[in-house]
Amino acid sequence: MNSDHLSKRLQTVVRFIPIGSRIADIGSDHAYLPCHAVKKGIATFAIAGEVAEGPYRSALKQVQIEGLTKNISVRKGDGLEVVEPGEVDCVTIAGMGGTLIADILERGKEKLSDVKRLILQPNIGAISIRKWFLENGWMLISEEILEEDEKIYEVLVAEKGDPYTSYEENLESGLLLGPLLQTKQNESFRKKWTIEKAKWERILHQLEQAAGKPEILQKKEDLLNKISLVEEALK
């Protein structure tokens, strides 16, 4: 992968960046995404943020090689602390766990006042992001699920608005599975949740052999509930 040939998951993220955006790519790694977006004329300005020294240096080198130092600012810092209020109107975060992405958004909420769109690609735990959207007034406008290199990824796109608009049916099911993904149910969706359901059933079987402590009983109840939600969605 390079800035001219992004991975399938990053191509999906870029597809949702509005033309003419000023973006902040948090956890930018080699800065391939912002370099691609600027070179393609999708973004007019980009911040590539990295918290670790190694990836920060890699991003800095890549931007210099591409000759994009006037359009892309590479900054070292934790999450959204690399962004000044009003500096960007679109934030992308890709390749992290959903809990970490939600934590980055929570800690940097004051930097999002002028941001119009969030494009987030969690590797796992998308439910944490959907819950954060509900609690902070961000409405899901699109969701994608795709498979690449035998891994399944979700991409969540949100703008400010009534967060409950996307959840016309069961809220609990929507948070777990994705309210918009449920309506599409492509091959990747069905594969992901068939695998997850089988994993939960194996864990449940193991718990059946354990002593009936309160925490074990609660775990079993949670698993049964999730299995039921998936079965209902897939039938």
User: Residue 20 is part of a domain; what is its CATH number?
Assistant: 3.40.50.150
Do 37 and 101 share a domain, yes or no? yes
Q: What is the number of structural domains in the chain?
A: 2
Is residue 38 domain-resident? yes
Can you name the residues that pair with 91 across neighbouring β-strands? 24, 118
AA identity, residue 88: V
Is residue 119 domain-resident? yes
Quick: pLDDT tens for 26-40.
999 999 999 999 999
Do 60 and 152 share a domain, yes or no? yes
Do 163 and 56 share a domain, yes or no? yes
Report the alpha-carbon distance of residue 205 to residue 211 in Å, rounded.
Answer: 13
Angle formed at CA 31 by CA 28 and CA 32, multiple of 5 degrees: 115
Is residue 116 domain-resident? yes
Arithmetic mean of pLDDT over the chain: 95
Cβ partners under 8 Å of residue 68, min gap 6: 35, 38, 39
Do 198 and 89 share a domain, yes or no? no
Do 198 and 158 share a domain, yes or no? no
Quote the tokens at residue 33: 């995404």
Do 126 and 31 share a domain, yes or no? yes
Do 89 and 196 share a domain, yes or no? no
Mean pLDDT of the region 192-215: 88
Residue 106, pLDDT above cutoff 90: yes
Do 146 and 201 share a domain, yes or no? no
CA nearest to 106, candidates 134, 145, 140: 134
Do 71 and 138 share a domain, yes or no? yes
Q: Which of 134, 167, 200 is the last residue of a domain?
A: 167
For position 136, what pLDDT does the model report? 97
High-pLDDT (> 70) share of the chain, %:
99
Range of the domain at 226: 188-234
Is residue 22 domain-resident? yes
Q: Which residues of 178-195 are buried (b: 16+ CB within 10 A; e: fewer)?
A: bbbbbeeeeebbeebbee
Read off the pLDDT band of 211 (50, 70, 90): low
- The pTM assigned to this predicted structure is 0.95
Read off the pLDDT band of 208 (50, 70, 90): confident
Is residue 175 domain-resident? no
Is residue 25 domain-resident? yes
* 207 or 10, higher pLDDT: 10
